[in-house]
Amino acid sequence: MLTLLDTHPRRIFALIAAVCAALLAFGLYLQHVVGLEPCPMCIVQRYALVLIAILAAVTAASAKKGIQIGGATLLVMLAGFGGFVAARQSWLQWYPPEVVSCGRDFYGMIETFPLQRAIPMIFKGSGDCTKVDWTFLGGSIANWSFLCFAAIGLLALLLAARGFRRN
């Protein structure tokens, strides 16, 4: 029986890129069709997904082992970053602080402040990141996002290990 890791690495990188594109499309659907407004932590997770999708697509386009190993290593780091943000948001949702300290709305920051001041504010968080607007099988968007980042990170780690082992 053929397992996922027996598949050519380029196909796995392409699959990661496609999954990230599908997750981003679903996030935009929830925002623009369902009407859920993303908090800044959600925006940061979207940035991580975009970077993962781009990096996975570029890595899938290369047949060089060194680029595939480097791409897989960078994917592990990006997935770790996205997973950290999703885990932090999940924690805030499970144990909300007495005073919501996420701050301003993302778009309000961009309109009010110059970009060099708005970017650091985004990473500090604003809006109500503790609010759970949507659930699926008992998990919030942040919970599912964490699981997706963990799966991507684990898959990329296995690809990197397989690439190092073959060299």
What is the C-alpha separation between 14 and 20, in angstroms, rounded?
A: 10
**Per-residue pLDDT at 99:** 56
Q: Do residues 102 and 39 lie in contact, with contact meaning Cβ atoms separated by under 8 Å?
A: yes
**Per-residue pLDDT at 102:** 54
For each of the domains in the chain, give its residue range(s) and CATH number, in order of start. 9-98+132-166 (1.20.1550.10)
Per-residue pLDDT of 127-147, as tens digits, reads 566 666 766 687 677 788 889
Per-residue pLDDT of 18-67, as tens digits, reads 999 998 888 888 777 877 777 777 888 888 999 999 999 999 888 788 88
**Per-residue pLDDT at 1:** 32
Is the pLDDT at 152 greater than 80? The verdict is yes
**Per-residue pLDDT at 126:** 47
**Per-residue pLDDT at 27:** 84
Q: Do residues 140 and 90 lie in contact, with contact meaning Cβ atoms separated by under 8 Å?
A: yes
Q: pLDDT confidence of 97, banded at 50, 70, 90?
A: low
Is the pLDDT at 84 greater than 70? The verdict is yes
**Per-residue pLDDT at 161:** 80
Place of tokens 């607007």: 133
Distances (CA, A) of 28 to 21, 58, 103, 114, 138: 11, 23, 22, 25, 21
**Per-residue pLDDT at 66:** 80
What is the C-alpha separation between 132 and 56, in angstroms, rounded?
A: 30
Q: Do residues 40 and 127 lie in contact, with contact meaning Cβ atoms separated by under 8 Å?
A: yes
**Per-residue pLDDT at 24:** 87
80 closest CA partner among 13, 156, 12, 142: 156
